[in-house]
A and B are shown apart, each in its own frame.
Chain A
Amino acid sequence: MARVHVTTPLTEEQVRRIRAGDEVYITGTVYTARDAAHKRMLEDLAAGRGLPFDPRGAVIYYVGPTPPRPGQVIGSAGPTTSYRMDKYTPTLLRQGVKAVIGKGYRGDEVKAALVECGALYLAATGGAGALLARAVEAADVIAYPDLGPEAIRKLTVRDLPTICIHDVYGGDQYYAGQSQWVKPDAMFKPRPPQAAE
């Protein structure tokens, strides 16, 4: 497991050298989007309006931050659970998005799309929003302001800490990590990876 520093927009080459289990520190721009913003983005695409940001090499962070206090750039800013975005993710990956950051399991279609499109699924520590906010240097709402906490924000980040869960080779760090620690007499075994081979 390596420690990798990447700068956005992500390139094919950057993405291909990252493996599941690697610590990935992101510097540059990440775009926030949760359920409601994803729904809007897909509606915009379907209507031919395009996305509110250039998706090529982009990184999407599943977060709805708390409002900043006066003098703060952003409030608390940790990841939300990713599976709720599963329905929308493959379409965005096909637009060129190279990494998504959240927490929790992804569905088989997302795992297959990550391999197909050469993109990463990264996890940040859930419930560590105060700590993760320290990596954010600027935050500006760039689309769907009516969605409030769910609006799309352009975040400028420095060394945002994540762990690669799914790499472009079908690796699955939840399965790998849990398989290492599950006891032989456990009542249930870790959920096996079922992504496209």
Chain B
Amino acid sequence: MRQLHVDEVAAAVARLVREANCVLEPDVAWAIARARSREESPVGKAVLAQLVENATIAEAERVPMCQDTGVALVFLEIGQDLHLVGGDLTEAVNRGVAQGYQEGYLRKSMLDDPIRRKNTGDNTPAMIYTNVVPGDRLRIRVACKGGGSENMSRLQMLPPSAGWEGAKRFIVETVAQAGPNACPPVIVGVGIGGNFDKCALLAKLALLRPVGQPHPDPEWAAREEELLEAINKLGVGPMGLGGTVTALAVHIEVMGCHITALPVAVNIECHAHRHKEVVL
């Protein structure tokens, strides 16, 4: 059985959080460039031009593109034929996050307790998501998620009678209410189905898809387009100053659900969508 030392996991996580915060991934850069060509508002165009310049400076000077260097989300796809050795995997991931945030001059934004609110000083705890998959590899996907957009996210347990129209209304309303707070143009992650917690997870996982890559099921891909069109009619525009590009993309993930339920979750991501992955 293939073995992998958890120290390698820690080192990879440290590298990924540093890199993700300073270098915009090609899918996001492309989406912003496309938005810039499509935006009709001069003010909106000027904001998008600032974002392009910002990304250039961030990469050249190794400065984080946003001062909110986020919560570290670490998604692990662990091959069932892989043996992780050398210690506790969770501890190793947190060690990698702490090291990466320290060495990368990233902001430490995590607290020990939601009410006591004392900064832990090393940006832990990371949010760790594990999934066991076939194979003997470890795929690590890291996203550094800012607080502004996360705060504008919502979940509702709709009655099944609400149907697609009810879900659509809730999703578009969430983006409308978020307005400038979520740093538009946003990426909208939507989870539909599952149960209360799986639905929220689906919305988060939807954000991991390369920006603008449609759902493999043509029916759901069409619904993604329908939502994107409805959202871009809102007029919110870049940074809420008015314009025709409010969202860069809408990604939906779906799952079967109980006969009584229609859970819908909307996880909003800002334009500074920082993600990076590696396979060990």
Contacts and interface: CB of A to CB of B under 8 A. Distances in A.
A49 interface: no
Contacts of B43: 163, 177
Contact of A125 (B169, B173, B176, B239): B239
Main secondary structure, interface of B, reads loop
Interface residues of B, number: 56
Interface in A173-197: 173-174, 176-183, 185-188, 190-191
Nearest to B57: A130
Main secondary structure, interface of A, reads loop
Nearest to A63: B67
Given A75-B105, A78-B67, A187 B172 contact: yes
A127 B246 CA distance: 15
Interface stretch (A5-13, A66-74, A93-101, A108-116): A66-74
Contact of A173 (B58, B241, B272): B241
A52 B215 CA distance: 53
Nearest to B243: A181
Contacts of B244: 181
Contact of A130 (B63, B183, B230): B63
Interface string B53-78: 11101100111111111000000000
A174 B105 contact: no
A123 B65 CA distance: 18
A190 B246 CA distance: 13
Contact of B41 (A63, A64, A180, A188): A180
Report the interface size class on chain A.
35 or more
A77 B230 CA distance: 33
B271 A177 contact: no
A75 to B, nearest CB: 6
Nearest to A127: B272
Given A76-B67, A103-B180, A129-B64, A182 B54 contact: no
Given A177-B241, A186-B230, 8 more contacts: A78-B67, A83-B181, A104-B181, A105-B179, A128-B54, A130-B55, A179-B242, A190-B236
- 6 A-B pairs closest in CB distance: A177-B242, A182-B235, A104-B181, A181-B235, A183-B233, A127-B272
